[in-house]
Amino acid sequence: MREDAYRAIRDAIVDGTLTPGERLNDGDLAQWLGVSRTPVREALARLEKAGLVRTKPGRFTMVSPLDVRAARDAHAVTSAMHELAVREALPNLSAAELDAMRAANARFADALRADDVDAAIAADDEFHGVVVTASANRAVHDVLEQFTPLLRRLERLRFASLSARGSVAQHARIIALCAAGDIDQAVAVTRANWATLVPLLETEPMDDDATL
């Protein structure tokens, strides 16, 4: 129940159902989710650590604005974890896992052509998730679970633009390099793929609090 509440609130923040600056009431959220207040409060505490919620005890809990500095930090960590996942997974990556990556990339391309941002993000997550799972590194998984949501709101903007189309080709290149067993180049292209978010982090307007 705690995990379900966490994921439901997290996803509602990431997809914009709960908007930046919106006040959150644990009673209302509990009623919405059909759970008691305890798992909601625990979920909000986790989301605060992840940077998606801000709390002033006794005053309010709200959806965090998108903090550009925090997003830049999260991007650096997330990129490094995906590179590590490729490095650790590739020696044992199976044909079935490569096929799963190809299928996810095909869904990713279809979603982009259909301008379906939610489906594009889901397919992109599935693509990279194959390697993360294959790495069998629990620490990598846990770090990505914490920091990826901060980037997903940025990814929604990126996947809504033509610049995301280049990721399809980069994904295909990663698959080819993994199939060839070229660890160093696969890591390098993975790094380049995640670097496509950097211009968005650099060009989005910021206010005095460095938030979007």
Q: Tokens 């301008």 sit at which residue?
A: 115
| CA of residue 39 relative to chain centroid, distance | 23
Token representation of residue 23: 């006040």
Compute CA distances 81 → 13, 39, 104, 107, 128, whole Å.
23, 29, 20, 24, 11
Q: What is the pTM of this model?
A: 0.82
CATH topology of domain 2-63: Arc Repressor Mutant, subunit A (1.10.10)
Domain spans, the chain: 2-63, 68-203
What mean pLDDT is reported for the chain? Answer: 88
Note the pLDDT of residue 161: 59
Collapsing DSSP states into helix, strand and coil, what is residue 36?
A: coil
Q: 175 falls in which pLDDT band (50, 70, 90)?
A: very high
Torsion of CA 132, 134, 140, 143, to 10 degrees: 40
pLDDT of residue 69: 85
Under the banding of pLDDT at 50, 70 and 90, the label for residue 204 is: very low
Measured in whole angstroms, the distance separating CA 130 from the mean position of its chain's CA atoms is 14
Can you give the pLDDT at residue 144?
95
- Which of the four pLDDT bands, split at 50, 70 and 90, describes residue 18? very high
Q: What is the pLDDT of residue 29?
A: 94
d(CA 83, CA 43): 29
Could you read off the pLDDT of 20-52 as tens digits, one per residue?
899 999 899 999 999 999 999 999 999 998 889
Phi-psi region of 115 (alpha: psi -120 to 50; beta: other; left: phi over 0): left
Task: Say yes or no to pLDDT of 210 above 70.
Answer: no
Q: Can you say how many angstroms the Cα of residue 63 is from the centroid of all Cα atoms in its chain? A: 17
Q: Is the pLDDT of residue 65 over 90?
A: no
| Of 122, 187, 202, 188, nearest in space to 159 by CA | 122
Provide the 8-state DSSP code for 163.
G
Cα(53)–Cα(203) distance, integer angstroms: 24
pLDDT tens digit sequence for 113-142: 898 888 988 999 999 999 999 999 999 999
**Taking the domain 68-203, which CATH number applies?**
1.20.120.530
pLDDT for the residue 208: 36
